[in-house]
Amino acid sequence: MTKFLCIFIWGFLIKMLISLLCSFVHGRLPYENLKPDPVLKTLLLSLPIRKVIFTNADKVHALKALRRLGLEDCFEGIICFETLNPIHKSIVSDDEDDIEFMGSTLTSTTATSGSEIFDIIGHFSQPNSGSKLPKTPIICKPSEYAIEQALKIANITNPQKTLFFEDSVRNIQAGKRVGLHTVLVGSSQRIKGADYALESIHNLKEALPELWEAEKMSEVGYPGQVAVETSVTA
């Protein structure tokens, strides 16, 4: 029996064409393809628990995507690439004052301990690469250390009372190893490491109505498997 106190890490909402490249590349992304989603906004605002974004994107990309979706006032804060990698700075626009970027607990030395950039694509292309990633000077998902640091920054002390929403299988599995309850978004089929599966994030209330009772109930129990196959068009 678990009472969820926080919905954490909605990075997939702003992961469209996600890249860790510099700001001039982000400037060329087709942000016009992102449209306001008032249905999702209403859903998020109605949730009576904490909501935090954790994304590998940088500040500029996160802000632009959230504003295009109309979701900039739905979250307590954002943990982005610069949060976990404070020495790697991007040019940030002056119009970000309405969204809080959570501060980093990492030092520049911690964030850059290492001699070379790790090739994550090459790592997973090798046979028997394993699920755990070697240490790298860049801290981001799917590193378990990155998730642990993000939890610390967001002041989330109990991962088992936190739902972790992701559309990446690797990120889901890393979150599960850290102790989070995991929700795979974009598929109704549960995979290893996913506690729940949603075809669409718009199906959240259908799949987990208990989340809306978080303030009323001392404990919330969930079945072992939840998979909602009905697509909802916003």
Q: Starting at the earlier edge strand, list the strands of the sheet with 77-79.
A: 77-79, 50-54, 6-8, 162-166, 181-185, 196-198, 226-228
- The CA distances from residue 53 to 4, 135, 137, in Å, are 16, 24, 22
pLDDT tens figures, 82-120? 999 986 444 444 444 455 667 654 544 444 443 344 555
Q: Which residue has the higher pLDDT, 80 or 101?
A: 80
Q: Does residue 125 have a pLDDT over 60?
A: yes
- Predicted confidence at residue 176, as pLDDT, reads 98
Indicate the pLDDT class of residue 17, thresholds 50, 70 and 90.
Answer: very low
> Does residue 204 sit in helix, strand or coil?
helix
- Predicted confidence at residue 214, as pLDDT, reads 61
Indicate the pLDDT class of residue 15, thresholds 50, 70 and 90.
Answer: very low
Q: How far apart are CA 9 and CA 55, in angstroms?
A: 7
Q: Does residue 217 have a pLDDT over 60?
A: no
Q: Please state, for a pLDDT cut of 90, what percent of the chain lies above it.
A: 50
What's the token pair of residue 191? 């995979």
Average pLDDT, the chain: 76
Is CATH 3.40.50.1000 correct for 6-112+135-228?
yes
Q: Does residue 204 have a pLDDT over 90?
A: yes
- Single out the residue of 195, 108, 104 nearest to residue 149, CA to CA: 104
What's the token pair of residue 35? 């449209």
Q: Does residue 162 have a pLDDT over 70?
A: yes
Residue whose pair of structure tokens reads 């008032």 in the numeric block: 38
- The CA distances from residue 108 to 144, 151, 152, in Å, are 19, 19, 17
> What's the average model confidence in pLDDT over 124-139?
66
- Predicted confidence at residue 67, as pLDDT, reads 95
Q: Does residue 172 have a pLDDT over 60?
A: yes
- Predicted confidence at residue 219, as pLDDT, reads 45
**Domain parsing of the chain, residue ranges:** 6-112+135-228
- Predicted confidence at residue 225, as pLDDT, reads 41
Q: Which residue has the higher pLDDT, 21 or 119?
A: 119
pLDDT tens figures, 24-54? 455 577 888 889 999 999 999 999 999 999 9
Q: Does residue 218 have a pLDDT over 60?
A: no
- Predicted confidence at residue 86, as pLDDT, reads 86
Q: Does residue 231 have a pLDDT over 50?
A: no
pLDDT tens figures, 182-195? 999 999 999 999 99
- Predicted confidence at residue 11, as pLDDT, reads 58
